[in-house]
Structure 1
Amino acid sequence: MRTYSLLVDAHLINRDPRSAMAVSDDMINAGFEPSKETLKNLRRRCFRELDYKKDAQVESLAKNFQIRMGS
């Protein structure tokens, strides 16, 4: 789980929300639940990069895992 979170963070630092989202999808497919912090960081980067489609996907993931993101 920690390795996936680090990979997501690395992509976010490189301003690549698409790759970060792909890693989070891999994490979920491997049976791990993303942390609230990881989803919040991913959502923040999507918003900063104006990637509203990925932002909506992050919001959907949060709902699926019953994680309250706030606004």
Structure 2
Amino acid sequence: MMAYPAFGNLSRTSSRPQISSELLVTIEDLRTEMMNAADDENFSSDTVLELSQRLDNYIVQAQIQMLGR
């Protein structure tokens, strides 16, 4: 699994709450699906926009987990 660059190195032990591995996999899978759809169609297609919106929601969930809320 490729690390999601926006979250940096999450494997380090810190006092900050960590993002669940399940959520990271979901984010990476959606990112890959979105990029593949953009290659097949274009960046403004309905499919790519829907995947982008779904991805945004999961990224917000990850940010909330990182903040420990």
Q: Same fold (TM over 0.5)?
A: no
With the length of structure 1 as denominator, give the TM-score of the two structures.
Answer: 0.40
* Structure number with larger C-alpha Rg: 2
Which one has a larger percent helix, Structure 1 or Structure 2?
A: 1
Structure with the larger RCO, 1 or 2 (CA within 8 Å, 6+ apart): 2
